[in-house]
Amino acid sequence: MPVYTEGTTAVIRPTVMSLKTSISTYEKQRGTANIFVNDDGMQLLSEKETQERRDFYDKHQIGWVARPRHGHYGERLFVRREKFKKASNMNYAMSVSRRVEEKLHDVSRDENWTDLEELYDAAAFEDEDGYEKYWSESYVSEDFDMALRLQCAGYSLRKFITARGIPLPKKIIICSYIGIYYAIASAWLLKMTNYLVTGWRFGLYEKYYADSFYIFSSVVMVLTGLGNLSLAVPRYRLKRATLAGNYLNNVQ
């Protein structure tokens, strides 16, 4: 379960409680399951909030891995090369899990351990940085991709949403993010409509219709210009690099 800076009480706790209910039902059917948290937000929390998360994980016997922030750790440099942080966070946590497995090679292993290792090997692929990747870091919405694949395979999925305690601005951001999927789904229809309107009504639509070039110009200005600048500012405040360096890195 990947987590970031969500509140322990408002988001993580009800999610874990729901998962434990599902695990209990699954175990009654003679299955076994555990919760493994891939925590990418612990490096941004205060010491009090960090300890609160640790205590919560320990109380519910949850295994967890917290990815460090970008920077130097003694003589070693930890570099976040990813485009999308959720996939890279889960890949990092899985790599730590694999290293634990390597430490357990000296322990007598039964057939179940061997099968699990073969499953890992079948699911992973090696990226250009030499690390095994279980999730592609080239695109976003890994959970959405998994949901589609599972539903196509005939599985029934359950969607869990908690809105209590979330500030109104964050709710608006979430709704805006969901709207991206509707925009992607309608892209082909709107593109065809734009093609027909600009072809059949050329020279007659300027007063009431903005063609694709004007929309493209505004998108480039907002996303490439202001979007990357707004992302560079918080990274600069976190003292990861200079403001100009962060902006150029975002543009790349």
Residue 169 included in any domain: no
Q: Say how many Å lie between the first and final Cα of the chain, rounded.
A: 30
pTM of the predicted model as reported, rounded to 2 decimal places = 0.56
Distance between CA 226 and CA 74 in Å, rounded? Answer: 35
As a residue count, the chain comes to 252
Question: How many domains, in total, are found in the chain?
Answer: 2
Q: Are residues 40 and 126 in the same domain?
A: yes
Distance between CA 176 and CA 156 in Å, rounded? Answer: 26
Picking from 152, 169, 197, the residue at the C-terminal end of a domain is 152
Phi and psi, residue 36, nearest 5°: -125, 110
Helix (H/G/I), strand (E/B), else coil: 133? strand
Question: CA neighbours within 13 Å on the CB side: how many for 240?
Answer: 20
Residue 143 included in any domain: yes
Taking residues 122-139, what's their average pLDDT? 59
Confidence of residue 56 (pLDDT cuts 50, 70, 90): very high
Q: Are residues 118 and 221 in the same domain?
A: no
Taking residues 106-131, what's their average pLDDT? 55
Q: Are residues 22 and 80 in the same domain?
A: yes
Residue-wise pLDDT for 146-191, tens only, equals 777 888 888 877 665 656 677 888 788 878 878 888 888 888 898 8
Which range of residues forms the domain containing residue 245? Answer: 186-251
CB 83 within 8 A of CB 138: yes
What the block records as the tokens of 103 is 């430490």
Residue 50 has pLDDT above 60, yes or no: yes
Q: What is the pLDDT of residue 118?
A: 45
Phi and psi, residue 211, nearest 5°: -75, 175
- Which run of H or E residues covers position 78? strand 76-78
Query: DSSP assignment, residue 106?
Result: G
Beta-bridge mates of residue 64: 37
DSSP 153-176: TT---------TT--HHHHHHHHH
Exposed, middle or buried, 37 (CB in 10 Å: 0-12/13-18/19+)? buried
Share of residues in the chain with pLDDT > 70 (%): 78
Q: Are residues 146 and 190 in the same domain?
A: no
